[in-house]
A = this chain, B = another copy of it.
Amino acid sequence: MTEITPGFDFAVSIDCVLFGFDGSELKILLIERNEEPFKDWWALPGNLVNKDESVDQSAQRILKELTGLSDIYMEQYYAFGEVNRHPQGRVISVAYYAMLRLGGEKPLKPLSSYAKKAQWINVADLPKLAFDHQHILNKGLEKIKRRIKHLPLAFELLPEKFTLTQVQSVYELILGKKLDKRNFRKKILSFKVLKELEEKQRGVSFRAATLYKFDKRKYNKLFGKEISF
A residues with a Cβ closer than 8 A to B are: 1-4, 6-15, 35, 43-56, 58, 76, 78-79, 81-83, 86, 88-94, 114, 131, 146, 149, 226, 228
In the complex with contacts A1-B46, A56-B81, A51-B90 CB distance below 8 A: yes
With A and B bound together, what is the CA distance between A9 and B83 in angstroms? 16
**Chain B hits for A86, CB < 8 A:** 2
User: How far does the Cβ of A76 sit from chain B's closest Cβ, in whole Å?
Assistant: 7
Other-chain residue from B4, B14, B226 in contact with A89 (beta carbon distance below 8 A) = B4
List 8 additional A-B contacts (Cβ < 8 Å) besides A2-B86, A51-B90, A149-B226. Answer: A2-B13, A2-B91, A9-B9, A12-B12, A58-B81, A79-B92, A146-B226, A228-B228
**Chain B hits for A53, CB < 8 A:** 83
Pick from A8, A9, A91 the residue with the most CB of B within 10 Å: A8
With A and B bound together, what is the CA distance between A93 and B55 in angstroms? 11
**Chain B hits for A93, CB < 8 A:** 1
In the complex with contacts A44-B1, A114-B3, A10-B49 CB distance below 8 A: yes
In the complex with contacts A56-B81, A83-B54, A48-B6 CB distance below 8 A: yes
What are 28 A-B pairs with beta-carbon distances under 8 A?
A1-B13, A1-B43, A1-B45, A1-B46, A2-B48, A2-B86, A2-B91, A3-B35, A4-B88, A4-B89, A6-B48, A7-B12, A7-B51, A8-B9, A8-B11, A8-B90, A10-B10, A10-B12, A10-B92, A49-B92, A54-B82, A55-B79, A55-B81, A55-B92, A76-B78, A79-B79, A146-B226, A149-B226
